[in-house]
Chains A and B, each alone.
Chain A
Amino acid sequence: MIGFLNGLLVTIKAGFRRPVTAQYPDPEKRLKIESRFMGFPSLTWDYQIEEPYCTGCMVCVRECPTECMSAKMKDNPLFSEGKSRRKKIIDEFEINLGRCILCGICVEVCNFDAIEMSHEHELSKRARNGNRFDLQQLLDLGIKFQSDTKWEPKQPEKNSGVPVKKINQNEDK
Protein backbone atom coordinates (compact mmCIF):
# COMPACT_ATOMS: atom_id res chain seq x y z
CA MET A 1 0.00 0.00 0.00
CA ILE A 2 2.99 2.20 0.48
CA GLY A 3 3.24 2.67 -3.28
CA PHE A 4 -0.31 3.96 -3.46
CA LEU A 5 0.17 6.45 -0.67
CA ASN A 6 3.55 7.67 -1.92
CA GLY A 7 2.03 8.70 -5.22
CA LEU A 8 -0.81 10.54 -3.51
CA LEU A 9 1.69 12.34 -1.29
CA VAL A 10 3.67 13.57 -4.28
CA THR A 11 0.62 14.98 -6.03
CA ILE A 12 -0.79 16.68 -2.98
CA LYS A 13 2.56 18.33 -2.25
CA ALA A 14 2.72 19.52 -5.84
CA GLY A 15 -0.81 20.88 -5.50
CA PHE A 16 0.38 23.53 -3.09
CA ARG A 17 3.30 24.71 -5.15
CA ARG A 18 3.22 27.68 -7.45
CA PRO A 19 2.28 26.67 -11.01
CA VAL A 20 5.14 26.73 -13.46
CA THR A 21 3.06 27.91 -16.41
CA ALA A 22 4.17 31.03 -18.23
CA GLN A 23 1.02 32.49 -19.73
CA TYR A 24 2.14 33.04 -23.27
CA PRO A 25 -0.55 35.44 -24.54
CA ASP A 26 0.50 38.11 -22.04
CA PRO A 27 3.74 39.73 -23.20
CA GLU A 28 5.08 40.33 -19.72
CA LYS A 29 4.51 36.78 -18.54
CA ARG A 30 6.45 35.02 -21.27
CA LEU A 31 9.68 33.12 -20.80
CA LYS A 32 12.89 35.04 -20.93
CA ILE A 33 14.91 34.61 -24.12
CA GLU A 34 18.59 33.93 -23.52
CA SER A 35 21.14 36.19 -25.13
CA ARG A 36 22.51 33.44 -27.37
CA PHE A 37 19.11 32.39 -28.69
CA MET A 38 19.19 31.68 -32.41
CA GLY A 39 16.10 33.14 -33.99
CA PHE A 40 15.67 34.18 -37.59
CA PRO A 41 18.72 35.61 -39.36
CA SER A 42 18.73 39.35 -39.87
CA LEU A 43 21.09 41.89 -41.39
CA THR A 44 22.81 44.49 -39.24
CA TRP A 45 22.90 48.23 -39.83
CA ASP A 46 26.01 50.34 -39.44
CA TYR A 47 24.85 53.48 -37.68
CA GLN A 48 28.13 55.35 -38.19
CA ILE A 49 27.84 55.28 -41.97
CA GLU A 50 24.11 54.70 -42.36
CA GLU A 51 24.48 51.64 -44.55
CA PRO A 52 24.29 47.87 -43.97
CA TYR A 53 27.40 46.01 -42.84
CA CYS A 54 26.75 43.44 -45.55
CA THR A 55 28.92 43.72 -48.67
CA GLY A 56 27.25 40.92 -50.61
CA CYS A 57 30.22 38.53 -50.55
CA MET A 58 27.89 35.48 -50.73
CA VAL A 59 29.82 33.29 -48.27
CA CYS A 60 26.69 32.74 -46.16
CA VAL A 61 24.66 31.95 -49.28
CA ARG A 62 27.16 29.25 -50.23
CA GLU A 63 27.37 27.74 -46.75
CA CYS A 64 23.65 27.53 -46.05
CA PRO A 65 22.65 23.83 -45.75
CA THR A 66 19.16 24.42 -47.10
CA GLU A 67 20.10 27.02 -49.74
CA CYS A 68 17.42 29.41 -48.54
CA MET A 69 19.25 32.68 -49.33
CA SER A 70 20.04 34.66 -52.45
CA ALA A 71 21.94 37.92 -52.76
CA LYS A 72 23.24 40.48 -55.23
CA MET A 73 25.91 43.07 -54.72
CA LYS A 74 26.49 46.47 -56.32
CA ASP A 75 29.18 49.15 -56.35
CA ASN A 76 28.90 51.28 -53.26
CA PRO A 77 28.00 54.90 -54.14
CA LEU A 78 29.21 56.02 -50.70
CA PHE A 79 32.63 54.54 -51.44
CA SER A 80 33.11 56.62 -54.56
CA GLU A 81 32.11 59.67 -52.50
CA GLY A 82 34.77 58.79 -49.92
CA LYS A 83 32.36 58.30 -47.04
CA SER A 84 32.78 54.55 -46.58
CA ARG A 85 35.47 51.87 -46.67
CA ARG A 86 33.23 49.25 -48.23
CA LYS A 87 33.83 48.97 -51.97
CA LYS A 88 30.76 46.90 -52.64
CA ILE A 89 27.44 46.93 -50.83
CA ILE A 90 24.42 44.69 -50.82
CA ASP A 91 21.80 45.38 -53.45
CA GLU A 92 19.22 42.62 -53.05
CA PHE A 93 19.00 39.97 -50.39
CA GLU A 94 16.29 37.41 -49.85
CA ILE A 95 15.94 34.74 -47.20
CA ASN A 96 13.07 32.27 -47.30
CA LEU A 97 12.49 32.04 -43.56
CA GLY A 98 10.23 29.04 -44.04
CA ARG A 99 13.22 27.06 -45.30
CA CYS A 100 15.74 28.34 -42.80
CA ILE A 101 16.60 25.71 -40.19
CA LEU A 102 18.07 28.25 -37.73
CA CYS A 103 21.41 26.47 -37.63
CA GLY A 104 23.56 29.60 -37.31
CA ILE A 105 26.16 28.57 -39.89
CA CYS A 106 25.69 31.82 -41.83
CA VAL A 107 26.62 33.85 -38.75
CA GLU A 108 29.69 31.71 -38.13
CA VAL A 109 31.15 32.11 -41.61
CA CYS A 110 30.36 35.80 -42.13
CA ASN A 111 33.53 37.91 -42.23
CA PHE A 112 31.86 41.28 -41.89
CA ASP A 113 29.57 40.91 -38.80
CA ALA A 114 26.78 41.53 -41.24
CA ILE A 115 24.27 38.79 -40.40
CA GLU A 116 23.12 37.93 -36.91
CA MET A 117 20.52 35.56 -35.52
CA SER A 118 17.85 37.83 -34.10
CA HIS A 119 15.55 36.88 -31.26
CA GLU A 120 12.47 36.66 -33.47
CA HIS A 121 10.84 33.28 -33.43
CA GLU A 122 7.20 33.91 -34.21
CA LEU A 123 6.35 33.89 -37.85
CA SER A 124 2.94 33.62 -39.37
CA LYS A 125 1.88 35.50 -42.43
CA ARG A 126 -1.35 35.54 -44.34
CA ALA A 127 0.23 35.59 -47.78
CA ARG A 128 1.47 32.35 -49.27
CA ASN A 129 4.95 33.67 -49.90
CA GLY A 130 4.97 35.96 -46.90
CA ASN A 131 7.93 34.14 -45.38
CA ARG A 132 10.33 35.35 -48.05
CA PHE A 133 11.95 38.37 -46.47
CA ASP A 134 13.65 40.95 -48.66
CA LEU A 135 16.46 43.30 -47.77
CA GLN A 136 14.40 45.99 -46.06
CA GLN A 137 12.49 43.51 -43.90
CA LEU A 138 15.71 41.84 -42.86
CA LEU A 139 17.26 45.18 -41.99
CA ASP A 140 14.19 46.02 -39.92
CA LEU A 141 14.61 42.79 -38.00
CA GLY A 142 18.26 43.58 -37.54
CA ILE A 143 17.66 47.11 -36.30
CA LYS A 144 15.14 45.83 -33.76
CA PHE A 145 17.62 43.16 -32.63
CA GLN A 146 20.43 45.72 -32.31
CA SER A 147 18.38 48.08 -30.20
CA ASP A 148 16.92 45.33 -27.98
CA THR A 149 20.25 43.73 -27.17
CA LYS A 150 22.65 46.70 -27.56
CA TRP A 151 24.59 44.77 -30.14
CA GLU A 152 28.26 45.45 -30.77
CA PRO A 153 30.15 43.94 -33.73
CA LYS A 154 32.63 41.23 -32.85
CA GLN A 155 35.48 42.83 -34.76
CA PRO A 156 34.78 46.58 -34.70
CA GLU A 157 38.06 47.86 -36.15
CA LYS A 158 38.21 45.39 -39.01
CA ASN A 159 34.59 45.78 -40.04
CA SER A 160 34.06 49.45 -39.41
CA GLY A 161 33.02 51.40 -42.47
CA VAL A 162 34.63 54.67 -41.43
CA PRO A 163 37.15 55.66 -44.11
CA VAL A 164 40.77 55.69 -43.01
CA LYS A 165 42.99 58.64 -43.96
CA LYS A 166 45.98 57.33 -45.94
CA ILE A 167 49.45 58.39 -44.75
CA ASN A 168 50.92 58.91 -48.21
CA GLN A 169 49.36 62.01 -49.68
CA ASN A 170 49.20 61.15 -53.39
CA GLU A 171 45.95 59.13 -53.18
CA ASP A 172 42.86 59.85 -51.10
CA LYS A 173 40.36 57.07 -51.63
Chain B
Amino acid sequence: MNFTQLFTYSSYVFGLFLSLTIMVLFLTWFERKALARFQMRMGPMRVGFHGTLQPIADAIKLISKEDILPAWADKLVYWFAPIIVFVPAFLVWVTIPFGKNMVLRSLDLGLFFIVAVSVLSILGLIMAGWGSANKYAVLGGLRAAGQLISYEIPLIMAILAIAILNQSLNLVEIVDSQVNIPNLFIQPLGLVLFFIAGLAELGRTPFDIHHAESEVVGGPFVEYSGAHWSVFYLSEYINTFTIGILTVLLFLGGWHWPNIPFSGNLQITLSVLVVLFKTMVVIGVIFWIRATYPRLRIDQLMSFGWKMLIPMAFINVTITASVLYYNLSLWILSIISIILLILCIFIIQRKFLINNEINTIKLISTKSLLDEKNEFELN
Protein backbone atom coordinates (compact mmCIF):
# COMPACT_ATOMS: atom_id res chain seq x y z
CA MET B 1 0.00 0.00 0.00
CA ASN B 2 1.23 3.50 -0.67
CA PHE B 3 1.95 6.25 1.78
CA THR B 4 -1.50 7.87 1.90
CA GLN B 5 -3.19 4.57 2.64
CA LEU B 6 -0.65 3.88 5.39
CA PHE B 7 -1.21 7.36 6.75
CA THR B 8 -5.00 7.04 6.80
CA TYR B 9 -4.92 3.61 8.38
CA SER B 10 -2.51 4.66 11.08
CA SER B 11 -4.59 7.74 11.84
CA TYR B 12 -7.65 5.50 12.20
CA VAL B 13 -5.72 3.25 14.56
CA PHE B 14 -4.53 6.25 16.53
CA GLY B 15 -8.09 7.56 16.76
CA LEU B 16 -9.27 4.18 18.02
CA PHE B 17 -6.50 4.10 20.61
CA LEU B 18 -7.33 7.60 21.80
CA SER B 19 -11.04 6.95 22.09
CA LEU B 20 -10.42 3.71 23.96
CA THR B 21 -8.15 5.49 26.41
CA ILE B 22 -10.78 8.13 27.06
CA MET B 23 -13.35 5.37 27.47
CA VAL B 24 -11.18 3.62 30.03
CA LEU B 25 -10.67 6.80 32.01
CA PHE B 26 -14.40 7.35 31.97
CA LEU B 27 -14.95 3.77 33.14
CA THR B 28 -12.72 4.21 36.17
CA TRP B 29 -14.74 7.27 37.20
CA PHE B 30 -18.01 5.51 36.44
CA GLU B 31 -17.08 2.50 38.52
CA ARG B 32 -16.22 4.55 41.57
CA LYS B 33 -19.39 6.61 41.27
CA ALA B 34 -21.61 3.59 40.66
CA LEU B 35 -20.15 1.60 43.55
CA ALA B 36 -20.50 4.63 45.79
CA ARG B 37 -24.16 5.11 44.93
CA PHE B 38 -24.92 1.47 45.63
CA GLN B 39 -23.29 1.95 49.01
CA MET B 40 -25.25 5.15 49.74
CA ARG B 41 -22.22 7.39 49.62
CA MET B 42 -20.96 9.86 47.08
CA GLY B 43 -17.78 8.74 45.41
CA PRO B 44 -15.22 11.25 44.12
CA MET B 45 -16.53 14.78 44.53
CA ARG B 46 -13.67 17.19 44.96
CA VAL B 47 -11.49 16.89 41.88
CA GLY B 48 -13.45 18.63 39.17
CA PHE B 49 -17.22 18.74 39.04
CA HIS B 50 -18.41 15.61 40.88
CA GLY B 51 -14.99 14.09 40.52
CA THR B 52 -14.76 13.98 36.74
CA LEU B 53 -11.08 14.90 36.79
CA GLN B 54 -10.32 12.11 39.27
CA PRO B 55 -8.97 9.66 36.64
CA ILE B 56 -6.47 12.28 35.51
CA ALA B 57 -5.36 12.79 39.10
CA ASP B 58 -4.99 9.02 39.47
CA ALA B 59 -2.95 8.82 36.27
CA ILE B 60 -0.61 11.59 37.41
CA LYS B 61 -0.17 9.91 40.78
CA LEU B 62 0.60 6.53 39.27
CA ILE B 63 3.08 7.88 36.75
CA SER B 64 4.94 9.87 39.36
CA LYS B 65 5.46 6.85 41.64
CA GLU B 66 8.74 5.03 41.78
CA ASP B 67 8.94 1.89 39.68
CA ILE B 68 10.34 -0.71 42.03
CA LEU B 69 12.25 -3.63 40.60
CA PRO B 70 12.86 -6.47 43.08
CA ALA B 71 16.51 -7.45 43.33
CA TRP B 72 16.08 -11.10 42.37
CA ALA B 73 13.46 -10.51 39.74
CA ASP B 74 13.98 -11.78 36.22
CA LYS B 75 14.20 -8.37 34.54
CA LEU B 76 13.09 -9.31 31.06
CA VAL B 77 10.10 -11.32 32.23
CA TYR B 78 9.16 -8.70 34.80
CA TRP B 79 9.24 -5.87 32.28
CA PHE B 80 7.45 -7.64 29.47
CA ALA B 81 4.60 -9.12 31.48
CA PRO B 82 2.52 -5.91 31.48
CA ILE B 83 3.04 -5.51 27.75
CA ILE B 84 1.86 -9.04 27.06
CA VAL B 85 -1.24 -8.41 29.14
CA PHE B 86 -1.90 -5.04 27.58
CA VAL B 87 -1.36 -5.52 23.85
CA PRO B 88 -3.97 -8.24 23.19
CA ALA B 89 -6.53 -6.18 25.11
CA PHE B 90 -6.17 -3.42 22.54
CA LEU B 91 -5.55 -5.63 19.56
CA VAL B 92 -9.02 -7.16 19.55
CA TRP B 93 -10.54 -3.74 18.95
CA VAL B 94 -9.38 -3.79 15.37
CA THR B 95 -12.38 -5.84 14.39
CA ILE B 96 -15.11 -4.76 16.82
CA PRO B 97 -17.71 -2.44 15.31
CA PHE B 98 -18.92 0.54 17.29
CA GLY B 99 -21.88 1.20 15.06
CA LYS B 100 -23.09 0.88 11.52
CA ASN B 101 -20.06 1.12 9.18
CA MET B 102 -17.86 2.02 12.16
CA VAL B 103 -15.36 -0.76 12.22
CA LEU B 104 -11.67 -0.50 11.52
CA ARG B 105 -11.40 -3.77 9.64
CA SER B 106 -14.35 -6.08 9.28
CA LEU B 107 -12.69 -9.49 9.29
CA ASP B 108 -14.57 -12.55 8.11
CA LEU B 109 -12.94 -14.49 10.94
CA GLY B 110 -13.73 -11.73 13.44
CA LEU B 111 -14.84 -13.83 16.41
CA PHE B 112 -12.08 -16.35 15.88
CA PHE B 113 -9.53 -13.53 15.89
CA ILE B 114 -10.96 -12.07 19.08
CA VAL B 115 -10.88 -15.36 20.95
CA ALA B 116 -7.41 -16.30 19.76
CA VAL B 117 -5.81 -12.96 20.58
CA SER B 118 -7.42 -12.47 23.97
CA VAL B 119 -6.14 -15.80 25.26
CA LEU B 120 -2.59 -14.45 24.94
CA SER B 121 -2.97 -12.22 27.99
CA ILE B 122 -3.09 -15.23 30.29
CA LEU B 123 0.56 -15.82 29.49
CA GLY B 124 1.30 -12.32 30.66
CA LEU B 125 -0.27 -13.09 34.02
CA ILE B 126 1.91 -16.13 34.55
CA MET B 127 4.96 -14.11 33.56
CA ALA B 128 4.02 -11.41 36.06
CA GLY B 129 3.80 -13.97 38.81
CA TRP B 130 7.07 -15.67 37.91
CA GLY B 131 9.07 -12.52 37.30
CA SER B 132 8.30 -11.08 40.71
CA ALA B 133 10.61 -13.46 42.64
CA ASN B 134 8.00 -13.77 45.38
CA LYS B 135 6.62 -17.19 46.19
CA TYR B 136 3.19 -15.76 46.93
CA ALA B 137 3.13 -14.00 43.56
CA VAL B 138 3.96 -17.26 41.80
CA LEU B 139 1.16 -19.05 43.64
CA GLY B 140 -1.23 -16.22 42.88
CA GLY B 141 -0.24 -16.11 39.24
CA LEU B 142 -0.76 -19.85 38.80
CA ARG B 143 -4.12 -19.66 40.54
CA ALA B 144 -5.18 -16.80 38.29
CA ALA B 145 -4.02 -18.65 35.19
CA GLY B 146 -5.92 -21.77 36.22
CA GLN B 147 -9.09 -19.77 36.75
CA LEU B 148 -8.78 -17.93 33.45
CA ILE B 149 -8.02 -21.00 31.39
CA SER B 150 -10.89 -23.00 32.80
CA TYR B 151 -13.39 -20.21 32.15
CA GLU B 152 -12.23 -19.71 28.57
CA ILE B 153 -14.09 -22.89 27.60
CA PRO B 154 -17.65 -21.76 28.40
CA LEU B 155 -16.85 -18.40 26.82
CA ILE B 156 -15.69 -19.97 23.58
CA MET B 157 -18.61 -22.39 23.56
CA ALA B 158 -21.12 -19.58 24.01
CA ILE B 159 -19.51 -17.66 21.15
CA LEU B 160 -19.55 -20.84 19.06
CA ALA B 161 -23.26 -21.29 19.64
CA ILE B 162 -23.92 -17.76 18.41
CA ALA B 163 -21.74 -18.35 15.37
CA ILE B 164 -23.71 -21.50 14.56
CA LEU B 165 -26.98 -19.65 15.05
CA ASN B 166 -26.07 -16.75 12.83
CA GLN B 167 -24.01 -18.78 10.40
CA SER B 168 -21.08 -16.36 10.40
CA LEU B 169 -18.01 -15.33 12.36
CA ASN B 170 -18.11 -11.75 11.11
CA LEU B 171 -19.34 -9.43 13.83
CA VAL B 172 -21.07 -7.02 11.44
CA GLU B 173 -23.03 -9.87 9.90
CA ILE B 174 -24.00 -11.25 13.31
CA VAL B 175 -25.41 -7.90 14.31
CA ASP B 176 -27.16 -7.44 11.01
CA SER B 177 -28.86 -10.83 11.33
CA GLN B 178 -30.45 -9.63 14.58
CA VAL B 179 -32.55 -7.02 12.76
CA ASN B 180 -35.85 -8.58 13.75
CA ILE B 181 -35.14 -10.16 17.11
CA PRO B 182 -32.04 -10.02 19.30
CA ASN B 183 -30.30 -13.27 20.20
CA LEU B 184 -31.25 -12.67 23.82
CA PHE B 185 -34.68 -14.14 23.21
CA ILE B 186 -33.44 -17.08 21.19
CA GLN B 187 -30.61 -18.15 23.50
CA PRO B 188 -31.06 -16.78 27.03
CA LEU B 189 -28.87 -19.59 28.34
CA GLY B 190 -26.11 -18.44 26.01
CA LEU B 191 -26.30 -14.92 27.37
CA VAL B 192 -26.05 -16.09 30.97
CA LEU B 193 -23.13 -18.37 30.13
CA PHE B 194 -21.28 -15.68 28.23
CA PHE B 195 -21.84 -13.12 30.96
CA ILE B 196 -20.71 -15.33 33.83
CA ALA B 197 -17.71 -16.67 31.93
CA GLY B 198 -16.85 -13.12 30.92
CA LEU B 199 -17.00 -12.00 34.57
CA ALA B 200 -14.62 -14.79 35.49
CA GLU B 201 -12.30 -13.87 32.63
CA LEU B 202 -12.13 -10.30 33.84
CA GLY B 203 -11.33 -11.38 37.35
CA ARG B 204 -14.20 -9.48 38.88
CA THR B 205 -16.33 -10.26 41.88
CA PRO B 206 -17.50 -12.91 42.58
CA PHE B 207 -14.45 -14.41 40.88
CA ASP B 208 -11.73 -12.04 42.05
CA ILE B 209 -10.00 -14.37 44.49
CA HIS B 210 -6.65 -13.95 42.77
CA HIS B 211 -6.26 -10.33 43.69
CA ALA B 212 -8.31 -10.17 46.83
CA GLU B 213 -6.70 -8.30 49.72
CA SER B 214 -8.49 -10.06 52.50
CA GLU B 215 -6.71 -13.28 51.65
CA VAL B 216 -3.10 -13.88 52.55
CA VAL B 217 -1.43 -11.74 49.86
CA GLY B 218 -2.47 -9.77 46.81
CA GLY B 219 -1.84 -12.13 43.93
CA PRO B 220 0.49 -11.83 40.93
CA PHE B 221 0.55 -8.00 40.94
CA VAL B 222 1.96 -7.65 44.42
CA GLU B 223 5.40 -6.41 43.38
CA TYR B 224 4.30 -3.96 40.72
CA SER B 225 3.95 -0.27 41.47
CA GLY B 226 3.56 3.01 39.67
CA ALA B 227 3.22 3.14 35.92
CA HIS B 228 3.80 -0.59 35.57
CA TRP B 229 0.83 -1.44 37.68
CA SER B 230 -1.33 1.11 35.95
CA VAL B 231 -0.88 -0.90 32.74
CA PHE B 232 -2.48 -3.92 34.42
CA TYR B 233 -5.22 -1.71 35.78
CA LEU B 234 -5.95 -0.22 32.35
CA SER B 235 -5.99 -3.59 30.65
CA GLU B 236 -8.59 -4.82 33.12
CA TYR B 237 -10.86 -1.93 32.23
CA ILE B 238 -10.31 -2.41 28.50
CA ASN B 239 -11.29 -6.04 28.92
CA THR B 240 -14.39 -4.97 30.83
CA PHE B 241 -15.37 -2.73 27.97
CA THR B 242 -14.67 -5.52 25.47
CA ILE B 243 -16.87 -8.01 27.29
CA GLY B 244 -19.57 -5.36 27.57
CA ILE B 245 -19.60 -4.50 23.91
CA LEU B 246 -19.40 -8.15 22.89
CA THR B 247 -22.46 -8.91 25.00
CA VAL B 248 -24.30 -6.11 23.27
CA LEU B 249 -23.22 -7.09 19.77
CA LEU B 250 -23.75 -10.82 20.14
CA PHE B 251 -26.87 -10.98 22.26
CA LEU B 252 -28.57 -7.65 22.65
CA GLY B 253 -28.91 -6.68 19.03
CA GLY B 254 -26.07 -4.18 18.63
CA TRP B 255 -27.36 -1.12 16.86
CA HIS B 256 -30.47 -2.75 15.51
CA TRP B 257 -32.88 -2.87 18.32
CA PRO B 258 -34.53 -0.36 18.47
CA ASN B 259 -34.21 0.25 14.75
CA ILE B 260 -33.06 3.71 13.80
CA PRO B 261 -35.19 5.29 11.09
CA PHE B 262 -32.85 7.98 9.74
CA SER B 263 -30.15 7.46 7.16
CA GLY B 264 -26.69 8.71 6.34
CA ASN B 265 -24.35 10.22 8.89
CA LEU B 266 -27.13 10.79 11.42
CA GLN B 267 -27.93 7.09 11.39
CA ILE B 268 -24.29 6.20 11.93
CA THR B 269 -23.95 8.60 14.86
CA LEU B 270 -27.16 7.39 16.45
CA SER B 271 -26.14 3.77 16.00
CA VAL B 272 -22.89 4.47 17.83
CA LEU B 273 -24.83 6.14 20.63
CA VAL B 274 -27.24 3.23 20.88
CA VAL B 275 -24.40 0.72 21.12
CA LEU B 276 -22.59 2.81 23.73
CA PHE B 277 -25.73 3.23 25.80
CA LYS B 278 -26.43 -0.49 25.84
CA THR B 279 -22.80 -1.21 26.71
CA MET B 280 -22.98 1.18 29.63
CA VAL B 281 -26.07 -0.65 30.87
CA VAL B 282 -24.25 -4.00 30.70
CA ILE B 283 -21.21 -2.54 32.45
CA GLY B 284 -23.53 -1.06 35.06
CA VAL B 285 -24.82 -4.56 35.72
CA ILE B 286 -21.23 -5.75 36.12
CA PHE B 287 -20.63 -3.05 38.74
CA TRP B 288 -23.95 -3.84 40.40
CA ILE B 289 -22.87 -7.45 40.80
CA ARG B 290 -19.55 -6.33 42.19
CA ALA B 291 -21.29 -4.23 44.81
CA THR B 292 -23.57 -6.99 45.99
CA TYR B 293 -21.88 -10.36 46.09
CA PRO B 294 -19.14 -11.88 48.24
CA ARG B 295 -16.43 -13.83 46.51
CA LEU B 296 -16.13 -17.53 45.87
CA ARG B 297 -13.31 -19.62 47.25
CA ILE B 298 -10.90 -20.96 44.63
CA ASP B 299 -12.07 -24.58 44.80
CA GLN B 300 -15.72 -23.53 44.66
CA LEU B 301 -14.91 -21.34 41.68
CA MET B 302 -13.25 -24.17 39.79
CA SER B 303 -15.95 -26.65 40.62
CA PHE B 304 -18.62 -24.19 39.50
CA GLY B 305 -16.81 -23.67 36.21
CA TRP B 306 -16.08 -27.31 35.42
CA LYS B 307 -19.17 -28.97 36.82
CA MET B 308 -21.87 -26.47 35.97
CA LEU B 309 -20.85 -24.10 33.19
CA ILE B 310 -18.97 -26.41 30.86
CA PRO B 311 -21.67 -29.10 30.61
CA MET B 312 -24.26 -26.37 30.08
CA ALA B 313 -22.10 -24.80 27.38
CA PHE B 314 -21.75 -28.07 25.53
CA ILE B 315 -25.47 -28.80 25.80
CA ASN B 316 -26.14 -25.30 24.48
CA VAL B 317 -23.98 -25.84 21.39
CA THR B 318 -25.48 -29.26 20.72
CA ILE B 319 -29.04 -28.05 20.96
CA THR B 320 -28.39 -25.01 18.76
CA ALA B 321 -26.72 -27.17 16.16
CA SER B 322 -29.45 -29.78 16.19
CA VAL B 323 -32.25 -27.21 15.97
CA LEU B 324 -30.59 -25.66 12.97
CA TYR B 325 -29.79 -28.99 11.36
CA TYR B 326 -33.34 -30.27 11.55
CA ASN B 327 -34.73 -26.87 10.45
CA LEU B 328 -36.98 -26.61 13.49
CA SER B 329 -38.49 -23.31 14.56
CA LEU B 330 -36.18 -21.10 16.59
CA TRP B 331 -38.75 -20.78 19.35
CA ILE B 332 -38.05 -24.36 20.34
CA LEU B 333 -34.48 -23.26 20.97
CA SER B 334 -35.54 -20.45 23.28
CA ILE B 335 -37.95 -22.66 25.19
CA ILE B 336 -35.32 -25.34 25.70
CA SER B 337 -32.84 -22.62 26.78
CA ILE B 338 -35.20 -21.30 29.40
CA ILE B 339 -35.90 -24.81 30.69
CA LEU B 340 -32.16 -25.45 31.02
CA LEU B 341 -31.70 -22.16 32.89
CA ILE B 342 -34.40 -23.10 35.36
CA LEU B 343 -32.77 -26.50 35.76
CA CYS B 344 -29.46 -24.80 36.62
CA ILE B 345 -31.09 -22.63 39.24
CA PHE B 346 -32.79 -25.67 40.68
CA ILE B 347 -29.52 -27.58 40.91
CA ILE B 348 -27.80 -24.68 42.68
CA GLN B 349 -30.65 -24.40 45.16
CA ARG B 350 -30.64 -28.12 45.89
CA LYS B 351 -26.88 -28.13 46.45
CA PHE B 352 -27.26 -26.00 49.51
CA LEU B 353 -30.47 -27.35 50.82
CA ILE B 354 -29.66 -31.05 50.72
CA ASN B 355 -29.93 -32.56 54.18
CA ASN B 356 -30.36 -29.27 55.93
CA GLU B 357 -32.49 -26.22 55.66
CA ILE B 358 -31.01 -22.76 55.59
CA ASN B 359 -32.66 -21.54 58.75
CA THR B 360 -31.38 -23.59 61.65
CA ILE B 361 -32.16 -21.00 64.29
CA LYS B 362 -34.92 -21.39 66.83
CA LEU B 363 -35.96 -18.86 69.43
CA ILE B 364 -36.40 -20.00 73.01
CA SER B 365 -38.39 -17.70 75.20
CA THR B 366 -36.73 -16.73 78.45
CA LYS B 367 -39.87 -17.25 80.49
CA SER B 368 -39.89 -20.91 79.56
CA LEU B 369 -36.21 -21.16 80.45
CA LEU B 370 -36.71 -19.55 83.84
CA ASP B 371 -39.47 -22.03 84.67
CA GLU B 372 -37.46 -25.13 83.91
CA LYS B 373 -34.30 -23.71 85.33
CA ASN B 374 -32.69 -26.96 86.32
CA GLU B 375 -32.52 -28.65 82.98
CA PHE B 376 -31.24 -25.97 80.68
CA GLU B 377 -27.70 -25.83 81.96
CA LEU B 378 -26.15 -28.27 79.50
CA ASN B 379 -27.86 -29.75 76.49
A residues near B, CB below 8 A?
1, 4, 7-8, 10-12, 14-15, 17, 19-21, 23, 25
Nearest residue (CB) in A for B41 is A21
A1 near B292 with CB under 8 A, answer: no
B40 near A17 with CB under 8 A, answer: yes
Known: A7-B293, A8-B288. A14 touches B38 (CB 8 A): yes
Kindly identify which residue among A11, A19, A20, A21 contacts B291, using a CB–CB cutoff of 8 Å: A11
For the complex, is B345 an interface residue (Cβ under 8 Å from A)? yes
User: Hey, which chain B residues are within 8 Å of A14, CB to CB?
Assistant: 38-40
Known: A1-B345, A1-B349. A7 touches B42 (CB 8 A): no
Known: A1-B348, A11-B288. A25 touches B37 (CB 8 A): no
Q: How many residues of B contact A (CB 8 A)?
A: 17
The 13 sampled A-B contact pairs (Cβ below 8 Å) are: A1-B349, A7-B293, A8-B292, A11-B288, A12-B38, A12-B288, A14-B39, A14-B40, A15-B37, A19-B37, A20-B40, A23-B42, A23-B45
User: Hey, which chain B residues are within 8 Å of A21, CB to CB?
Assistant: 41-42
Q: A17-B40, A19-B42 are in contact. List 16 more A-B contacts (CB 8 A).
A: A1-B348, A4-B293, A7-B292, A8-B288, A8-B289, A10-B292, A11-B291, A12-B288, A14-B38, A15-B37, A19-B41, A20-B40, A21-B41, A21-B42, A23-B45, A25-B46
A19 near B40 with CB under 8 A, answer: yes
For the complex, is B22 an interface residue (Cβ under 8 Å from A)? no
Shortest distance in angstroms between A15's beta carbon and chain B's nearest beta carbon? 5
B residues near A, CB below 8 A?
36-42, 45-46, 288-289, 291-293, 345, 348-349
Shortest distance in angstroms between A131's beta carbon and chain B's nearest beta carbon? 29
Instruction: Report Cα–Cα, A19/B34, bound state, in Å.
Output: 12
B292 near A11 with CB under 8 A, answer: yes
User: Hey, which chain B residues are within 8 Å of A1, CB to CB?
Assistant: 345, 348-349
Shortest distance in angstroms between B358's beta carbon and chain A's nearest beta carbon? 8
User: Hey, which chain B residues are within 8 Å of A12, CB to CB?
Assistant: 38, 288
User: Hey, which chain A residues are within 8 Å of B288, CB to CB?
Assistant: 8, 11-12
User: Hey, which chain A residues are within 8 Å of B349, CB to CB?
Assistant: 1
Shortest distance in angstroms between B139's beta carbon and chain A's nearest beta carbon? 30
Shortest distance in angstroms between B283's beta carbon and chain A's nearest beta carbon? 15
Task: Please provide the 7 A-B residue pairs with the shortest distance between their CB atoms, ordered closest to farther.
Answer: A1-B345, A7-B292, A11-B38, A21-B42, A21-B41, A11-B292, A19-B42
Shortest distance in angstroms between B293's beta carbon and chain A's nearest beta carbon? 7
Kindly identify which residue among A4, A15, A20, A25 contacts B38, using a CB–CB cutoff of 8 Å: A15
